[in-house]
A and B are shown apart, each in its own frame.
Chain A
Amino acid sequence: MWPTVVFSLFVQWSVGAGAFTQSLDSDFTFALPAGRKECFYQTMEKDASLEIEYQVLDGAGLDVDFYLYSPSGHVLFSDFRKSDGVHTAETEAGDYMFCFDNSFSTLSEKVIFFELILDNMGEGEDSEDWKEYMQGADMLDLKLEDIMDSINGVKARLGKSLQIQTVLRAFEARDRNLQESNYERVNVWSCTNMVVMVLVSCIQVYLLRSLFDDKRKTRT
Chain B
Amino acid sequence: MTVVASCVGVLLLFAWFTPSKALYFHIGETEKKCFIEEIPDETMVIGKYRTQLWDKQTGSFLPATPGLGMHVEIKDPDTKVILSRQYGSDGRFTFTSHTPGEHQICLHSNSTKMALFAGGKLRVHLDIQVGEHTNNYPEIAAKDKLTELQLRVRQLLDQVEQIQKEQNYQRYREERFRMTSESTNQRVLWWSIAQTVILIITAIWQMRHLKSFFEAKKLV
A-side interface residues toward B, CB under 8 Å? Answer: 5, 8-9, 11-18, 20-24, 26, 28-31, 38-43, 111, 116, 118, 121, 123, 144, 147-148, 151, 154-155, 158-159, 161-162, 165, 168-169, 172-173, 175-176, 179-180, 182-183, 186-187, 190, 193-194, 197-198, 201, 204-205, 208-209, 212, 216
Contact = CB atoms under 8 A, between A and B. Distances in A.
Nearest to A164: B163
Nearest to A58: B36
Interface residues on B, range: 35 or more
Nearest to B16: A18
B155 A22 contact: no
Contact of A175 (B155, B177, B191): B177
Contact of A5 (B2, B13, B36, B156): B2
Given A16-B8, A21-B16, A190-B191, 13 more contacts: A16-B16, A18-B12, A24-B21, A26-B22, A28-B35, A29-B38, A40-B23, A111-B36, A179-B181, A183-B183, A187-B187, A201-B206, A212-B213
Interface stretch (B63-71, B82-90, B113-121, B146-154): B146-154
Contacts of A116: 23
Contact of A197 (B162, B173, B202, B209): B202
Contacts of B22: 26
B138 A180 contact: no
A28 B16 contact: no
B170 interface: yes
Interface string B63-104: 000000000000000000000000000000000000000000
A180 B156 CA distance: 37
B194 interface: yes
Given A40-B24, A121-B21, A182-B184, A165 B166 contact: yes
B141 interface: yes
B2 A8 contact: yes
Interface in B1-28: 1-2, 5-6, 8-13, 15-16, 21-26
Given A29-B37, A165-B166, A172 B173 contact: yes
Contacts of B183: 183
Provide the main secondary structure of the chain B interface.
Answer: helix
26 contacts: A5-B1, A5-B2, A8-B5, A15-B141, A15-B148, A16-B11, A17-B12, A23-B133, A24-B21, A29-B35, A41-B23, A41-B24, A116-B23, A144-B149, A151-B156, A158-B163, A176-B177, A176-B180, A179-B177, A183-B187, A186-B191, A190-B191, A193-B195, A201-B203, A201-B205, A212-B217
Given A194-B198, A205-B210, A22 B133 contact: yes
Interface of B: 1-2, 5-6, 8-13, 15-16, 21-26, 33-38, 127-129, 133, 136-138, 141, 148-149, 151-153, 155-156, 159-160, 162-163, 166-167, 170, 173-174, 176-177, 180-181, 183-184, 187-188, 191, 194-195, 198-199, 202-203, 205-206, 209-210, 213-214, 217, 219
